[in-house]
Chains A and B, each alone.
Chain A
Amino acid sequence: MATVRLSFSPAPVHVRTARLVGVAVARRAGVAETLLDEVRLAIGEACTRAVALHRQYGVPDPVLVEMSDSTSYTVRVIDRAPIEASVGLSALPPDELADESLTDEALTTGVGFALLAGFVDDLQVRPVDEGIGTEVRMVWPVARR
């Protein structure tokens, strides 16, 4: 089993780096080529969410991304924002998406969660084991080698 860990300052410019690393490790782990676009998008969404929470709560700590391949490709994106920030993560119904009263932030959060839930079959969002923060855990199958 190989593990790659990446931690980055909570700035938007680094999310692309996390996506690139996440896809490179996925490819090496044996994730099907047809899934790599979804891996790229999901890791990007999870990291974007983490960066937004760190900035919203003024948390300077780095965002952690841990990628491991064993029987599957598992990516954990860990933020250090207060846990209540994760409450309200839900997809928005279509008739609310272009609602005038919906803020840009709420829209982006709802759409981001819809993408995560839509593209990742095995998705968990839960509090971290120690300290404050949330872990977004995503799992993809790998080809047996």
Chain B
Amino acid sequence: MELSLATRTVAEHTVLEVGGEVDVYTAPRLRERLIELVDSGARDVVVDLGRVDFLDSTGLGVLVGALKRLRAVGGTFSLVCAKEPLLKIFRITALDQVFPIHPSVEAATGTPETGAGPGPAA
């Protein structure tokens, strides 16, 4: 499956939703998008890997590059990932010690969980 990229804003965080395969062929497009986001002023960036079904070393390199770029401008960078195969990749490369990794966009942005039933009565 081809790479898909979509950006939205959640609680003053820029959330980049990534889908498909991130590999040596598609990773340059992810790098370009992340650079564009930082250049356009995004400072708290969350990359949601929820719909990624393949991620290789090139993709990981792009994510580290974004982390460094945001650090340099005083920003933050975190990942959303709940898929065990992808989490294993982060553990094996020790990158789980480099990136903040959250199980959901809500956890990453500090917003209330949605879809968990009706909220408390007013």
Contacts and interface: CB of A to CB of B under 8 A. Distances in A.
Partners in one complex: yes
B89 A12 contact: no
B64 A98 contact: yes
Say what secondary structure dominates the interface of chain A: helix
Given A45-B56, A48-B24, 9 more contacts: A40-B54, A44-B24, A48-B57, A51-B24, A94-B97, A107-B61, A112-B56, A118-B92, A119-B92
A97 interface: yes
Interface in B65-94: 65, 67-68, 71, 85, 89, 92-94
B68, B85, B89, B94 interface centre (most CB from chain A within 10 Å): B94
B61 A111 contact: yes
Given A37-B85, A48-B23, A97 B94 contact: yes
Nearest to A105: B61
A36 to B, nearest CB: 11
Given A41-B89, A44-B23, A97-B94, A104 B61 contact: yes
Contact of A12 (B24, B64, B71): B24
The 9 A-B residue pairs with the shortest CB-CB distance, nearest first, are: A118-B92, A112-B57, A108-B61, A94-B94, A12-B25, A12-B24, A111-B57, A48-B24, A94-B97
Say what secondary structure dominates the interface of chain B: helix
Interface in B20-51: 21, 23-25
A45 B60 CA distance: 12
A100 B23 CA distance: 23
Interface in A38-65: 40-41, 44-45, 48, 51-52
B10 interface: no
Interface of A: 12-13, 15-16, 19, 37, 40-41, 44-45, 48, 51-52, 91-94, 97-98, 100, 104, 107-109, 111-112, 114-115, 118-119
B98 interface: yes
Contact of B98 (A19, A37, A97, A115): A97
Contacts of B56: 41, 44-45, 48, 112, 115
A136 to B, nearest CB: 14
28 contacts: A12-B25, A15-B23, A15-B24, A15-B25, A16-B23, A19-B54, A37-B85, A40-B54, A41-B54, A44-B24, A48-B23, A51-B24, A94-B94, A94-B95, A94-B97, A97-B64, A97-B93, A97-B98, A98-B71, A98-B98, A108-B60, A111-B60, A111-B61, A111-B95, A112-B56, A115-B57, A118-B92, A119-B92
